Structure 1
Amino acid sequence: MKMLIDGCEVDASNGRTIDVTCPVNGSLVGTIPAATEQDMEKALAASVKGQKAWQAIPLREKEQILDRFEELLEENKKEILTVVCKESGSSLRNGLMQIQGLPQLFRGYLETAKRYNGHLMVPGIEAGHDGKTENDMQLVTYEPVGTVLAIVPFNASIMLFAYKAAPALAAGNAVIVKPPTTNPLAVIMICKLLWQAGVPGSTLQVITGNGGEIGDYLSKDPRINAVTLTGSTEVGVHIAEIMAKKLSPCALELGGNDPFIIMEDADLQAAIADGAFWRMNSAGQICISPKRFIVHNSLKEAFTQGVLEFTKTIHMGYDMDYDAEVEKFLNLDFSKMAHAGMIMNPLISERAAKTVEEQIQKTAAQGAKILTGGRRNGCFIEPTVLGDVTRDMDIMKDMEIFGPVLPICGFDTEEEALEIANQSSYGLSGCVWTKDWKKGMRMARAIQSGGVVINGTGTYRNMMHPFGGYKHSGMGREGFMTLGEMMQEKVIIMKDFYRAD
């Protein structure tokens, strides 16, 4: 598959390519160009004219483009879903969730843009620099920031692409997309459909290749006016430093080590079902999946047995036939896929799986007991439950495990649970289980994270609400109500507009 630059599908200027392989069996899914500086320069130059062209298109015409895009997406969803699953090793549920959410994301941001209509300030509220404002019209308007660089991660690639590209386009910006190197094909396919629907080829472009090289080169260029990134904290801090030197904005959705707190009065069976499923879903490769299970000691043994029973229902997807699965479930609502009978998908790469394997071994060396799992087979990690975990271990602080690993740490008091939850430098999401709503609200307010769910899992994400983290989990927010992060405010003043001559 080729890059998308200035309305053309192109190879790298030096002809270099990168293989895209399926982590289930290592089979070749496709190839992508490894972009050069010359390729990036073409995209940057095109984005300047592309932004102006896109900004000039009225919202009603953008809505017609979106209507056509939704039709094209429906026509091509089978092919896209198959590619999503094969190139990332994604679970079918995850793939369906992404495909089914795309139209809502683009539609929601465009509807929100219709309400960014500016406002008039009441004249004469306070003195201006000349001591008078009562005769002046002060108009607050919103304009696009320019060109937005969207750096997309491997997990939920097309949905997280939409969370970046949809608001940027709705606000009138041009977008240059850097898809994940491991699984970029579906993102490219979606962008081609947007072109086909009517988005100018200079407005939306895709650059593929080495993430570090491309991210650095584009972020440093003055023609990039904002960056939106989902990725590791290390990469996020690096991009923030680059953008700070330009005094340009960036929105960063980074790592997390989310607490899952079970109080002594919790609905234990519901907590087991929710916690075990969401920790193992997508092989644990979800930024807001629960990662630290902080369980009241009176329930710890029963909770442990419950999640161990759940892991027995998980089937390893070593022989996953994505073509057959897509054919079978293509038109099923993703939310209807049962919790039981989960098929464990692989991690995105063998390198990622080896990292998780090492983290499990490190935690065991620190004193934890591997109750089940812990073994790696290629890109697969068996569902793993760790007992005898203590609050001083790395896994209960800042070692985020991006894999199907469920550590259980006991506590005795509410204060202790909160101390364990807040001892991490991360603060993306979290949850607390209790039948006492007052206690739940008290604890939710005390947990240092961008979102907390009471009697549910921190994976709850509504397209409307402002999504993002505290501390090292990022800065900025995503969600329909945060469209303003893709815009800049301008005040236009007409002196003496109201003065009678």
Structure 2
Amino acid sequence: MTTATKEKTDIAVLKQFIGGEWVEGTGTREIKSVNPSDSREVVATCKGASKEDVQKALAAAQEAYKGWKATPAPARARVLDKVVALARQNKERLARILAREEGKILPEALGEMEKGINLLEWFAGEGLRFMGTTAPSELPKNLLYTVREPLGVVSIITPWNFPWAIPCWKIAPALVAGNAVIFKPASNTPWLASELVKLFDEAGLPKGVLSFIVGAGSEVGDSLVEDDRVKAVSFTGSNQIGVRVHTICGKRGIPVTCEMGGKNPCIVWKDADLDLALAGVVKGAFGSTGQRCTATSRLILHEDIADEFLKKVVDAANAMKIGPALEEGIGLGPAVDQGQLDTDLDYIKIARDEGAKIVCGGNRVEDGDLKFGYFVEPTIFDHCTPKMKIAQEEVFGPVLAVFRVKTLEQAIEYANDTVFGLTCAIYTQDITTAMTYMEESEVGMFHINSPTIGGEAQVPFGGVKGSAVGDKEMAKEGINFFSKSKTIFLDFTGKKRESNIY
């Protein structure tokens, strides 16, 4: 079912945030953020940054770093506490910006807001836990201990699909650890990113500690990775760019973490609670219009329940209400832009050409005013084989490939047959089945009787294989990435050392 309504507001005019001041970019590119529910509506504009703007931001960050590093970690954390309070006060307003700019339906936008707030809150707590360890010495009257210290100026480069939560889980630990941050969001979702930076500014973050740079990667991205003043890079985005970022940082010898793509399988076994599995598969495959690195893009069914379960999934997909992100009752919003819509439709055509059987969707939605948005039907292909492109390449849209298997060994083989290794799920009532798959799975995150999507602040997030390089994010791993350990040897004997142990 499709529908269309429109919410009109003034166009937001954005600026760069450099050295604690909002300034117009001096680059050549004019950036426009368009409402994906209705491309006739420009929601925000921004004069792009230039390389000179980046240089100013780096200089300001380097200068501000000295004072921020010297600020006690609990005091740094209290700035985040203020951001948490401000975010809660503005949650509804910010969620509506998210829905208008990125196209996430409002209930999901509110969910992303809450996740980001939870992350800010958790990392604020890390300001009171930013500690090292002690160890017993081989020598008498010697104290061994470690402390953690910030790295310096760090670059944070984020994608468009979670324009609130991902910046929160990167910026928060970087700041609590005592770093100065240069933040570059995706160019098609700069508005919400700008609003997040405003909250940090309102919370009293010192000038220069956080800079906000919007611009083309070709103009500003390289400087945020290659400049000698940048001591670490945290990147989330495509594999192609992520590998390049990792290569540059490797040559420079600086820490880098790159969270990239996924091709996540969900196994539904013959003993599964099918209603529970249905809810998880539909949410995993079509939630956020499939535009998550953790989305369920491959569904592996035991042949005994395949027909029955697939019918349930198809019926649920056909019943989804497609429409503008801010309209009440919508189940599936738009793709983020024309490029992503074209990608979705291209992969649907490829799957048809390769012989996959389409059982649901497959078309662009152009009813009424929806023709001005980037809408595509939730699409399901049955009888897929592991080497099809639809089984191997990330679509990043509401497109689900279905496979049928006879044995658990075959299901695990299919699940692992990909260059990616982000997340997976299995629905079963048999703990032995679940744990056998867990031990053999080639992923960074494993779900039992829950969707492939999701994560919580207090546990690590990230993948293996082609899904990620470098440290995982969130939890202790998140703040450890943005800090370094120093070991201290304190000899309080007051005497010349006689031991030759070292």
TM-score w.r.t. structure 1 length? 0.91
How is 1:442-461 mapped onto 2 (pairs within 5 angstroms)?
Answer: 442-461=436-455
CA distance in 2, matches of 1:103, 1:499: 50
CA distance in 1, matches of 2:384, 2:184: 39
The answer to whether the 8 Å contact 2:37/2:325 transfers is no
Query: Cα 1:141–1:60, aligned 2, differ >3 Å: closer, same or farther?
Result: closer
Runs of at least 5 residues in structure 1 that lack an aligned partner in the other structure: 125-132, 326-340
CA deviation profile, 1:35-66 (whole Å, cap 9, x unmatched): 11110000010111122221222233334323
CA distance in 2, matches of 1:202, 1:427: 37
Which of 486, 494, 498 is matched with 2:493 structurally?
498
The answer to whether the 8 Å contact 2:30/2:48 transfers is yes
Q: Name the aligned partner's letter for residue 68 of structure 2.
A: W
How is 1:117-266 mapped onto 2 (pairs within 5 angstroms)?
Answer: 117-124=131-138, 133-266=139-272
CA distance in 2, matches of 1:189, 1:362: 39
**Shift of the alpha carbon at 1:17?**
2.3
Runs of at least 5 residues in structure 2 that lack an aligned partner in the other structure: 1-13, 366-372, 497-502
CA distance in 1, matches of 2:28, 2:91: 30
Q: Name the aligned partner's letter for residue 390 of structure 1.
A: T
SS in 2 for 1:315: coil
Is 1:104 aligned to residue 123 of structure 2? no
The answer to whether the 8 Å contact 1:313/1:342 transfers is no
CA deviation profile, 1:335-379 (whole Å, cap 9, x unmatched): xxxxxx652111110111111101011011110111121112451
CA deviation profile, 1:258-282 (whole Å, cap 9, x unmatched): 0101112111221122101221111
Which of 91, 107, 110 is matched with 1:93 structurally?
107
Backbone CA RMSD of aligned residues = 1.7
Q: Name the aligned partner's letter for residue 390 of structure 2.
A: I
Match of 2:388 in 1: 393
Match of 1:486 in 2: 482
Match of 1:267 in 2: 273
The answer to whether the 8 Å contact 1:450/1:469 transfers is yes
Is 1:384 aligned to residue 397 of structure 2? no
**Shift of the alpha carbon at 1:79?**
2.8
CA distance in 2, matches of 1:269, 1:375: 27
The answer to whether the 8 Å contact 1:453/1:460 transfers is no
CA distance in 1, matches of 2:405, 2:115: 38
Q: Name the aligned partner's letter for residue 213 of structure 2.
A: I
SS in 2 for 1:463: coil
**Shift of the alpha carbon at 1:70?**
2.8
Is 1:356 aligned to residue 356 of structure 2? no
**Shift of the alpha carbon at 1:14?**
4.7
Match of 1:346 in 2: 334
CA distance in 2, matches of 1:468, 1:497: 43
Match of 1:9 in 2: 22
Match of 1:406 in 2: 400
Match of 1:330 in 2: none
CA distance in 2, matches of 1:66, 1:460: 23
The answer to whether the 8 Å contact 1:261/1:431 transfers is yes
TM-score w.r.t. structure 2 length? 0.91
**Shift of the alpha carbon at 1:135?**
4.4
Which of 428, 431, 435 is matched with 1:441 structurally?
435
Q: Name the aligned partner's letter for residue 382 of structure 2.
A: G
SS in 2 for 1:316: coil
CA distance in 2, matches of 1:372, 1:180: 32
CA deviation profile, 1:404-450 (whole Å, cap 9, x unmatched): 11111101111111111111010000011111101211111101000
CA distance in 2, matches of 1:465, 1:177: 24
- Give the stretch that moved more between structures: 180-189 or 108-117: 108-117
Q: Name the aligned partner's letter for residue 489 of structure 1.
A: S
**Shift of the alpha carbon at 1:104?**
2.0
Match of 1:468 in 2: 462
- Give the stretch that moved more between structures: 426-435 or 94-103: 94-103
**Shift of the alpha carbon at 1:16?**
4.5
SS in 2 for 1:142: strand
What count of residue pairs does the alignment treat as equivalent? Answer: 473
**Shift of the alpha carbon at 1:211?**
2.7
SS in 2 for 1:261: strand
Match of 1:41 in 2: 55
Is 1:62 aligned to residue 58 of structure 2? no
SS in 1 for 2:445: coil
**Shift of the alpha carbon at 1:241?**
0.3
